[in-house]
Structure 1
Amino acid sequence: MPTPTPAPAPLPLPDAAVPGPGPVIPGFEYLRVPVADGVALHTAVAGTGSPIVLLHGLPQTHLMWRHVAAELAADHTVICPDLRGYGASDKPADPDGTAYSKRIMAADIVALARALGHDRFALAGHDRGALVAIRAGLDHPDAVTHLASLDVLPTLDMWEVMHGVTAAVGFHLYLMAQPPGLPETMIEASADAFFGHFLDVWARDPQAIPDDVRAAYLAASRAAVPSIVADCRASAGPDLEHDRADRAAGRQLRMPVTVLQQDWGAALGFDAAARWRAWAPDLHHSTVPYGHFMAEEAPTEVTTALRTLLTR
């Protein structure tokens, strides 16, 4: 893939714009980093040493990494952005259905790391952020040294394994794959109930997401419905096309890859590890007993897995 143009230098947020009443990751500096034309990412940074970028999922923000990030910052440079369209990052319009393709969002992350002085970095993602991480690993193999995916399948495999009544677990993906208009209207009419549903049913330990963090997630998602829908809609459009092209060309993730995943195979009737091995020859795949929000429910175990990955 062509190398993205280096982004402008990051700009520290004015004091008034630094997250104040809401939760933050203690000890992290908050920056607003331009990564593309008209797009800057709200980013928390701390630590020194080899860099690792942590990408959040739905319906979260960078705050989902608060425990893991604090531990990793003891000996790594830890970079936690809100993805484009999420949290306090910019939310560009999506007139042609490509602004939230994982290819574009992955280019954001490469530009973010370069703006912070890192041409090569490790990358970990959860849920939607893992899809961005996978695309970054495929499109920018010279930039991504190690890759971790938490509780997701690559886009093409996701659509292939969902069928019949078992696909009900992904009802939101089918809803948000519809043409612009109806999904946004329906979700905006009851945004807290919609996004709160996932926080409730996907967590095995509800106490892992305290009230102030939950409120921050809901407020951020409520304000970002069109861009969140566009992100998910892209998985049924350009993201799927890009995965199909890569599979046909035999492109794989050549860096060490760690996958932590709930037992989706038992639920949906497929071999998750085999699906992943087709994409990642250097793979450590673990079926874990945590809920979907594993970085918040089992931060010590997730941190250990990431540290192990970084030694490979």
Structure 2
Amino acid sequence: MDKFESFTITTQPEPRVDIFGLKSGDASSQKPALLLLHGFPQTHHIWHRVAPQLTSAYTVVLLDLRGYGQSSKPGGVAAYAKSAMARDCAAVMTQLGHHAEPFFVCGHDRGARVAHKLCVDHPRRVHAAVFLDICPTLAMYEATSFDFARAYFHWFMLIQPAPLPEMMLLANPRKIAEAFMGGRQDAGLSIFAPECWEQYVAGLGDEATVHAMCDDYRAAATVDLEEAREDIKRGSLIACPLKVLWGQHGVIEKCFDAVKEWKQVSSKDVTVEGHSVNSGHYIPEQIPDLVVSEIKGFFVV
């Protein structure tokens, strides 16, 4: 992406965690800041059709979440709590100079789960949020049905003790990526740009990345659930306007009432809206122009 420059920012010294990302413009710009967060098993590359269309209106920041892409891969399940990953986001935005004013955040899949925790733990930092193709993690696990478990089998496979799921993914990364990611929309692999696709396959073939991805899911099924229950008990809820978009051909549409679920974890006085879109799971790559339109229509200062 020609409009962007890369950076690496250390968000914690012990253990050291370096977060890789791209940014447009600079902190002195009068444009509002927008943080974009990717999902599994991807990287910042998911935004390659979206981010360039947003630089005229926003200072855009894209990250590789810890454990993914070129960012650090610390050890231990707790390192992948969404609260820890949200702290990375807050630290990066501070070090980039976006601390005086709240910023916008849009996340897909795992990135939206990080964005959820960012909204809860750092409410003064987030002006508004867009979440793509998720419901709250706690709600999804607690409402597990046969249809959900069949569609999201990886939620239950990847949380198994190491090294079983790691060995399964590393056994044939390309074939697994083709079957798993290609099977989530009628258009198959055609929605992915070849250069981005190779980044995803490379991640699934890298032992450290695969272990980190599994720990991300292990954290989701343990510490993230504990923190979510504690947030609800304390009344720590999303306090900014929220829009949720989900694919018409995916599990959110089939198994959940997304807007209702997000209202359950948001303050009563904030706007929560959303609707399905004509897409499979990988919304930013399948229908990027619609994502751009929704972001520009919702993220207004």
Is the structural similarity TM-score above 0.5?
yes
1:225 aligns with 2:210: yes
1:100 aligns with 2:83: no
Distance 1:252 1:203 in 2: 33
1:272 aligns with 2:258: yes
Answer yes or no: is the 8 Å Cα contact 2:247–2:281 preserved in 1. Answer: yes
Query: How far off is 1:165 after superposition?
Result: 4.3
Answer yes or no: is the 8 Å Cα contact 2:112–2:134 preserved in 1. Answer: yes
SS in 2 for 1:124: strand
Answer yes or no: is the 8 Å Cα contact 2:40–2:110 preserved in 1. Answer: yes
Name 1:111's counterpart in structure 2. Answer: 91
Answer yes or no: is the 8 Å Cα contact 2:133–2:252 preserved in 1. Answer: no
The one-letter amino acid paired with 1:273 is V
Q: For structure 2, which runs of at least 5 residues remain unmatched after alignment? A: none
1:294 aligns with 2:283: yes
The one-letter amino acid paired with 2:84 is I
Name 1:44's counterpart in structure 2. Answer: 22
Superimposed CA distance per residue, residues 141-167 of structure 1 (whole angstroms, 9 cap, x where no aligned partner): 011111110001111011022222441
SS in 2 for 1:229: helix
Q: How many residues end up aligned between the 2 structures?
A: 285
Distance 1:286 1:166 in 2: 20
Distance 2:190 2:169 in 1: 25
Query: How far off is 1:198 after superposition?
Result: 2.7
Answer yes or no: is the 8 Å Cα contact 2:246–2:253 preserved in 1. Answer: no
Superimposed CA distance per residue, residues 110-156 of structure 1 (whole angstroms, 9 cap, x where no aligned partner): 00000100112111100000000000000000111111100011110
Name 2:132's counterpart in structure 1. Answer: 150
Answer yes or no: is the 8 Å Cα contact 2:247–2:283 preserved in 1. Answer: no
Change (3 A) 1:238 1:143: same
Superimposed CA distance per residue, residues 275-303 of structure 1 (whole angstroms, 9 cap, x where no aligned partner): 11112341121111112111111111101
SS in 2 for 1:306: helix
Name 1:309's counterpart in structure 2. Answer: 298
Name 1:161's counterpart in structure 2. Answer: 143
Query: How far off is 1:210 after superposition?
Result: 2.1
Name 1:284's counterpart in structure 2. Answer: 273
Change (3 A) 1:43 1:266: closer
Bigger drift between 169-178 and 156-165 goes to: 156-165
SS in 1 for 2:238: coil
Distance 1:129 1:166 in 2: 20
Query: How far off is 1:246 after superposition?
Result: 1.5
**TM-score of the aligned structures, taking structure 1 as reference length:** 0.87
Q: For structure 1, which runs of at least 5 residues remain unmatched after alignment? A: 1-24
Query: How far off is 1:28 after superposition?
Result: 0.8
Superimposed CA distance per residue, residues 245-279 of structure 1 (whole angstroms, 9 cap, x where no aligned partner): 112223221101110012445522x3222111112
RMSD: 1.5
The one-letter amino acid paired with 1:248 is K
1:238 aligns with 2:214: no
Answer yes or no: is the 8 Å Cα contact 2:244–2:258 preserved in 1. Answer: no
1:257 aligns with 2:257: no
SS in 1 for 2:80: coil
SS in 2 for 1:99: helix
Matched-pair identity in % = 33
1:215 aligns with 2:186: no
1:29 aligns with 2:5: yes
The one-letter amino acid paired with 1:33 is I
